[in-house]
Structure 1
Amino acid sequence: MVNTSKLFPLFGLCPFPTQSSTMNAQTRNPRSKTRKKPSSYGASRRSALKKTFTQEQVTFTAPLSPDPLVVIIGGGISGLLCASFLEQRGVRSTVFDTGVHGLGGRLGTRVVDRNSLVFDHAAQFFTVNDSRFAELVHDWIDKGLVSEWKGPIGELQSGGNFVPFPSSPPRYIATHGMRSLADSLLAQARMVNVVRPCWVSKLEPFNGMWHLSENGKPCGQFDAIVIAHNGKCANRLLMTSGLPLIAKQMKRLELSSIWALLAAFEDPLPFWDATEVPFEGAFVRGVDSLSWMANNTKKLQNSHNGGPHCWTFLSTAAYGKQNKVPQENIPAATSSRVTAEMLESVEAALGLSKGSLPKLSYTRLQLWGAALPTNTPRIPCIFDPFGRAGICGDWLLGSNIESAVLSGIALANHIADYFQSTGADPAEFAVGLNQEFQPLEGHDIGQFPGLRSDDKIDEAQLYELAK
């Protein structure tokens, strides 16, 4: 078992800025009927930003609860690890997630036709750099949740020039698809309640607690909030929450857009000089619309004679930006065009002539409109002790599963320490509220520390950056 009691020390803190106006959260009633209705149904981005940054800061004055209940909005791996480590510190939590098919966020796996077609359609694999994360991964391996991906992985240049990576560092995958790891993380939890699918639409402070609702339907009241997701939905949620400092940092985050094409072929993919491609995963170079391709059938060991060959193709961030549309309602014409262009790019990458791919038995196109962070504050978590609200997620440290895990655990320990304090000087628990952002380097599909073109991040450097 993992010894987690001292895995994460208290990270360095920054001073909490003085607010010119604050709101006593004891007196704000979420059920008040005296508020004015909006004069219009729409608002410009400028007015939304103004509303976000000029909202009054919530300042809770109620004593800290000896038995707090924390709400975690977002069931990705960062939020799930936050909930798990809160439980290990004796703190109860509720996780709200929008997932219909399961938890995980970008730990996404799509299963079609009773397990005959399985695709990891977001996070593809991960490497391990941090010793604390390594301890968790070894525990997951012992439980059968994670295994090493030993198939050939490398770089594929346009025209079919494949260069394999060395076997070190090891690459890891969830044994039954990435989503299976997320769905297993809280299987033994006793102090965590999971609610899904639920789209929290409003946060309101009243009587020393945070009150949550989904389209007017109450979702409960909580002593503290964790925002474990990002993008426009998180921005919208925070816009009038009374947390301008949290909202400001979330607004500064920039995210890429990436198309994911899932394709099942009746026969193996050919290669320019062979009957079958010599790899299971490849970072594609020199093709405008393609950054990654992976054979899910071999990766997940679901191959069987005469069965389909399932591949995931991910676009470049540049192509995603050029062809971005509302991901909830992709026009049919866009879907057909993007699918055709990405399949042509597969042929170009493999050195094949146009129209030479095997017959398709299944395709599905998905746009990750808020795919991966492109900038980062390089801190493990953000916490506002006066509003009793925090943020965790991969983007705070990087762009990978390891960063998400470290962030979730760091915030869990920080919140537990906060509630175990006397509450006499809450400002000492403020962290990350004014941290500057910097550009984030890595592959279009994320960072993989130690893997060829990714620089290895030294643990001592990580601790220093967290101060």
Structure 2
Amino acid sequence: MMTTLTCSSSSSLILQPLKPPKPSKLSRFSKPRTLILTVTSSSESKPSKNPSKKPQKQPTSKFRRRASYGSSRRSTIKKTFSQEQVNFTAPFSSEPQVGIIGGGMAGLVCALNLDKRGVKSTVFDTGIHGLGGRMGTRIIDPQPLIFDHAAQFFTVSDSRFGQLVDGWLERGLVREWKGMIGELEAGGQFIPYLNSPPRYVGVNGMRPLADSLLAQTSMVNVVRPSWISKLEPYNGMWHVSENGKPQGQFDIIIIAHNGKCANRLLGSSGLPLIARQMKRLELSSIWALLAAFEDPLPIAGLEQFEGAFVNGVDSVSWMANNLKKLSSSQSNDPQCWTFFSTAAYAKQTKVPQENIPNATAEKVKTGMLEGIEAALGLSKGSLPRPFYSRLQLWGAALPTNTPGVPCIFDPHGRAGICGDWLLGSSVESAAVSGMALADHIAEYIQSGGVDPEEFAVGLHHEFRPLEGHDIGQFPGLESKVEEEAQTYQLTT
């Protein structure tokens, strides 16, 4: 049985068991009827378990017994996401605070837009080296070697995102990637994208872009590295903690990351509707192999390409030359390549990403290097060995399904979700989601929360499969791929 946990500024705690609707009369997502009960402290009498015993009459038409909010809450309530629903009724603080768990593109843009709307926020992120989540860049000193080892580039199709990117261009945070990219068929046949839409990359990599986004804000606090482990409603506020250490209290909480960590966090938070939607999300896995070579790869006739989607090779789906992508000059520095596996190959070889066995790492590295040889049309063993290499598993890489809604917001629980998976699997989708949730929350705060039902969004949307490349979607680029491939076939 699902229950509703009502939090107000008083010390009382009210549980509302939500009676499931009968399947024959109501749909699975119909609103359940409620019966308000109470939680009592250990020193008070507990509600009778005898169903024949009638509760005391109250002034309202619903039954209610009051109790103080005490330590008995944990022993009385079984904390599972399927049994609780928190329901805040207290007014917002005079200066509402929003806690954002996750400092990827969605969380950062959400914080930026809240700032523009005059709402303060704190971003909690697990990043040790910097913000950004999958906007990852690894820099290896002393040379240095630079690799974008997650998001490779992005395109623009949404006008709101376009305005954001224009600002990044003016600040020198991004630039257009004009290098040749295309599709590489097994055996070394390269089909360039000749008329693709503008592609953008961070000037010094994707992570420096993410770290720079909040530089001009005055109302955003960043806490990292931080692994928020618990959300708890108390006295009309969300209290967040990290391994038992309090990290602040907030009027509204935002989950801007996904995967097992988010599911664990939501599993006992009192947000069953949000937890249910998050649990429906399916994520792929991807291996990233970073490799530095002293000399250019032996790719006669293919010297001009800087990035390629690989077809017909089981172990490789993408390859890009970071030196050419991130440097406008033709230098003699080491060639720093990023190679991505296919999602199917990663699924076959998946292990816990926190503890990759050496044997698995060596097997995957060998398999990917052999796949690179096959893609480039090289004989087995002819690819030079990299003088530096690093293998990383993105265990929760990209979404494979989506509800197709910009954001999710539970007004009763005063909690929301933003992320690329709500609309697709791209940098643009993440940014648009963050903007949408920030605007939605700002409007809800301005309304005073007096009519929460009007602000519920995305809580019951069905999921559908998500199409795209193994390394994500690139709006505007996909529409050109088939057209150019057909043109290439006609001219060859």
Per the shorter chain, which TM-score range? 0.7 to 0.9
In 1, Cα distance between the equivalents of 2:186 and 2:84? Answer: 54
Deviations 1:150-188 (A, max 9, x none): 000000000000000024301110111000110000011
User: 2:141 is matched with which residue?
Assistant: 113
Deviation at 1:32, TM superposition (A): 2.6
User: 1:181 is matched with which residue?
Assistant: 209
In structure 2, relative to structure 1, the CA distance for the partners of 1:423 and 1:260 (3 Å cut) is same
1:439 to 2:460 alignment: no
User: 2:47 is matched with which residue?
Assistant: none
- 2:410 maps to a residue whose letter is D
User: 1:353 is matched with which residue?
Assistant: 379
Deviations 1:274-323 (A, max 9, x none): 4x633100000000111000000110007665421000000111111111
1:291 to 2:317 alignment: yes
Deviations 1:212-261 (A, max 9, x none): 11001111111000000000000000000000000000000000000000
User: 2:284 is matched with which residue?
Assistant: 256
SS in 2 for 1:360: coil
Note the 1:24-423 alignment, pairs <5 A: 32=71, 35-36=74-75, 52-114=80-142, 116-271=144-299, 273-274=300-301, 277-301=303-327, 305-423=331-449
User: 1:3 is matched with which residue?
Assistant: none
The answer to whether the 8 Å contact 1:24/1:58 transfers is no
The answer to whether the 8 Å contact 1:28/1:205 transfers is no
The answer to whether the 8 Å contact 1:86/1:93 transfers is yes
- 1:104 maps to a residue whose letter is G
In the superposition, the TM-score normalised over structure 2's length comes to: 0.83
In 1, Cα distance between the equivalents of 2:418 and 2:30? Answer: 18
Deviation at 1:449, TM superposition (A): 1.3
In 1, Cα distance between the equivalents of 2:231 and 2:168? Answer: 35
* Structure 2 alignment gaps of length 5 or more: 1-28, 40-65, 483-492
In 1, Cα distance between the equivalents of 2:34 and 2:354? Answer: 40
In 1, Cα distance between the equivalents of 2:80 and 2:149? Answer: 33
* Structure 1 alignment gaps of length 5 or more: 1-14, 39-49, 457-467
The answer to whether the 8 Å contact 2:196/2:480 transfers is no
The answer to whether the 8 Å contact 2:298/2:383 transfers is yes
SS in 1 for 2:310: strand
In structure 2, relative to structure 1, the CA distance for the partners of 1:209 and 1:24 (3 Å cut) is farther
| Percentage of pairs with the same residue | 69
User: 1:12 is matched with which residue?
Assistant: none
The answer to whether the 8 Å contact 1:127/1:450 transfers is yes
Instruction: Report 1 or 2 for greater relative contact order, CA contacts < 8 Å, sequence distance ≥ 6.
Output: 1
The answer to whether the 8 Å contact 1:27/1:206 transfers is no
- 1:388 maps to a residue whose letter is R
In 2, Cα distance between the equivalents of 1:267 and 1:316? Answer: 26
In 2, Cα distance between the equivalents of 1:231 and 1:422? Answer: 32
In structure 2, relative to structure 1, the CA distance for the partners of 1:123 and 1:202 (3 Å cut) is same
The answer to whether the 8 Å contact 2:81/2:266 transfers is no
In structure 2, relative to structure 1, the CA distance for the partners of 1:270 and 1:246 (3 Å cut) is same
- 2:249 maps to a residue whose letter is Q
Deviation at 1:65, TM superposition (A): 2.6
In structure 2, relative to structure 1, the CA distance for the partners of 1:235 and 1:33 (3 Å cut) is same
In 1, Cα distance between the equivalents of 2:440 and 2:30? Answer: 15
SS in 2 for 1:220: strand
Deviations 1:407-441 (A, max 9, x none): 00000000000000032211111001001110000
In structure 2, relative to structure 1, the CA distance for the partners of 1:103 and 1:366 (3 Å cut) is same
The answer to whether the 8 Å contact 2:193/2:480 transfers is no
In 1, Cα distance between the equivalents of 2:450 and 2:320? Answer: 54
In 2, Cα distance between the equivalents of 1:329 and 1:264? Answer: 24
The answer to whether the 8 Å contact 2:122/2:221 transfers is yes
User: 1:17 is matched with which residue?
Assistant: 31
Deviations 1:83-110 (A, max 9, x none): 0100100000000000000000000000
Deviation at 1:56, TM superposition (A): 1.3
- 1:297 maps to a residue whose letter is L
Deviation at 1:16, TM superposition (A): 8.9
In 2, Cα distance between the equivalents of 1:415 and 1:28? Answer: 30
- 1:219 maps to a residue whose letter is Q
Please tell me whether Structure 1 or Structure 2 has the larger radius of gyration of its CA atoms. 2
In the superposition, the TM-score normalised over structure 1's length comes to: 0.87
The answer to whether the 8 Å contact 1:21/1:57 transfers is no
SS in 2 for 1:280: strand
- Could you say what the CA RMSD is over the residues aligned between the two structures, in angstroms? 2.4
In structure 2, relative to structure 1, the CA distance for the partners of 1:206 and 1:191 (3 Å cut) is same
The answer to whether the 8 Å contact 1:19/1:57 transfers is no
SS in 2 for 1:441: coil
SS in 1 for 2:282: coil
SS in 2 for 1:180: helix
In structure 2, relative to structure 1, the CA distance for the partners of 1:322 and 1:435 (3 Å cut) is same
SS in 2 for 1:111: strand
The answer to whether the 8 Å contact 1:212/1:220 transfers is yes
The answer to whether the 8 Å contact 1:24/1:59 transfers is no
Higher mean C-alpha displacement, 235-244 vs 422-431? 422-431
The answer to whether the 8 Å contact 2:79/2:270 transfers is no
- 2:437 maps to a residue whose letter is L
Q: How many residues are paired up? A: 428
SS in 1 for 2:339: strand
